[in-house]
Amino acid sequence: MFQNVSNDSVLGDMQLHDQVVKILHIEDSAADQALARLSLKRGKLLCSLTTVDTLPAVQEALQTQTFDLILADYHLPGFTALDVWDLVRTRADAPPFVLLSGAIGESAAVDIMRLGISDYLLKDQINSLPHVVKRAIEVHEARLARRRAIDELAQSEKRLAELTEHLHTSIEQERANISREIHDDIGGSLTAVKFNLAWMSRNSPEGALREHTQSALEMLEHALGASQRIMQNLRPPVLDQGLVAAVQWLTQDFERRTGTPTQLHTSREHMNIAPALQVVVYRAAQESLTNISKYAQASRVSLDLSDQEGFLTLEVTDNGVGLDEQARNKPQSFGLRGLSERARTVQGWLDVSSRLGQGTSIILTIPLTDIET
């Protein structure tokens, strides 16, 4: 059976959160029930106690009411406080659980606390009950607040990851669109102008007109070369030939521009990789090589591209000056941070290993599914 007992003492400044504390009191002794109510009243806690003394009554009370705290004796007829704890510990809304009992031994008390019970109080120390109840509720609320903060942070990180993925996808799409427009419109127009200027150069007499035409052709060749470089940087057409070909082109272009010996090792000549993963790996290689050309002062660079054992990995290693921790964590260091965020959009991760004077190794790892391989 269970019994509702109200304790309507006047609290003033000592009232806990200016509300009635609803307590489920599991106790079969009427005298101990009265002592608990008296102690809470003396402690100026405004409480509403629901008293039960059987396990079915506990179950019924938990199903029909919501409690701020459970206060339980250890030994009761036919069950113990641990049986009650088993009922409530897996509930998402489980309230704090305080054990109020006679002596059960120090070892048993330690074991009980390890199970997750909020607190343990001896009945001969019942005058401390108001303090124990307030502390248990405050600790419980602090844990709930921390859990909510963790959940909110996780949701925020999820939304940020989704936004990052959307931004990367939008940027790559816009790059492809701009590259296509440069190729189709600007490139086509420049090529047509080139043909006209070449005709004029061939058919104009010797003199100032031919010289000006030849000069215009040279400037036009420069413009065509610039447009080609812009298209390659925006979205290299070589990506359409596959990831290995794209990274190989990037490696050769880097060696040609910088004069730094650069080697590429691949696990196979052709990899059937999803387009979204190809872009992530290509951008990682591109950003890594850009950083090397700007800061590393390296005399040797190597790239290793592999799709073995269910993972797509790219490792870019140089023998340059290395990175110190401060340089890697400075607020404006967006290169590696951007690569790491880009890797997360495809459930991958980025590892950076570096020692001053001994070079740097950047490893991108992306898990592959059966479909993607």
Token readout for 340 is 């790491």
Residue with tokens 């040279």: 218
Dist CA 344 CA 350 (whole Å): 9
Dist CA 300 CA 319 (whole Å): 6
Instruction: Tell which wins on pLDDT, 232 or 69.
Output: 69
Residue range 234-259: mean pLDDT, rounded: 87
**What pLDDT score does 345 carry?**
83
**Taking phi first (over 0 means left), then psi (-120 to 50 degrees means alpha), and beta for anything else, what does residue 17 get?**
left
CATH hierarchy code of domain 2-148: 3.40.50.2300
Instruction: Tell which wins on pLDDT, 333 or 212.
Output: 212
**What pLDDT score does 8 carry?**
43
* pLDDT at position 80 over 50: yes
Q: Which residues contact 311 (CB under 8 A, 6 or more apart)?
A: 365, 366, 367, 368
Instruction: Tell which wins on pLDDT, 111 or 13.
Output: 111
* pLDDT at position 247 over 80: yes
Please give the helix or strand (H or E) that residue 97 lies within, else none. strand 97-101
DSSP label at 293?
Answer: I
**What pLDDT score does 319 carry?**
94
Instruction: Tell which wins on pLDDT, 170 or 293.
Output: 293
Instruction: Tell which wins on pLDDT, 166 or 263.
Output: 263
Location of each CATH 3.40.50.2300 domain in the chain: 2-148
Confidence class for position 372, pLDDT limits 50, 70, 90: very low
Please give the backbone phi and psi of residue 351, each rounded to the nearest 5 degrees, phi first: -115, 130
Location of each CATH 3.30.565.10 domain in the chain: 239-373
Is there a contact between 187 and 221 (Cβ–Cβ < 8 Å)?
A: no
Please give the helix or strand (H or E) that residue 371 lies within, else none. none
| DSSP per-residue codes, 46-68 | -EEEEEE-SHHHHHHHHHH---S
In tens, the pLDDT along 336-365 reads 787 888 888 888 999 999 988 889 999 999
pTM: 0.53
Confidence class for position 14, pLDDT limits 50, 70, 90: very low
Between 61-70, 107-116, 124-133, the lowest mean confidence (pLDDT) is in 107-116
Instruction: Tell which wins on pLDDT, 269 or 172.
Output: 269
Please give the helix or strand (H or E) that residue 164 lies within, else none. helix 129-181
Instruction: Tell which wins on pLDDT, 232 or 368.
Output: 368
In tens, the pLDDT along 46-58 reads 889 999 999 999 9
Dist CA 104 CA 362 (whole Å): 59
Q: Residue 259, SS3?
A: coil
Which amino acid appears at position 220 of this protein? L
* pLDDT at position 25 over 60: yes
* pLDDT at position 254 over 50: yes
3-state helix, strand, coil in the chain (%, to 5): 55, 20, 25
**What pLDDT score does 149 carry?**
92
Q: Residue 275, SS3?
A: helix
% of the chain beyond a pLDDT of 90: 35
* pLDDT at position 332 over 70: no
Instruction: Tell which wins on pLDDT, 333 or 239.
Output: 239
Q: Write 366-369 long-range contacts (CB < 8 A, 24+).
A: 366/277, 366/280, 366/281, 366/311, 366/312, 366/313, 367/310, 367/311, 367/312, 368/273, 368/277, 368/307, 368/310, 368/311, 368/312
* pLDDT at position 373 over 50: no
* pLDDT at position 239 over 60: yes
Class of domain 239-373: alpha beta
% of the chain beyond a pLDDT of 70: 88
Q: Which residues contact 5 (CB under 8 A, 6 or more apart)?
A: 33, 37, 48, 49, 50, 51
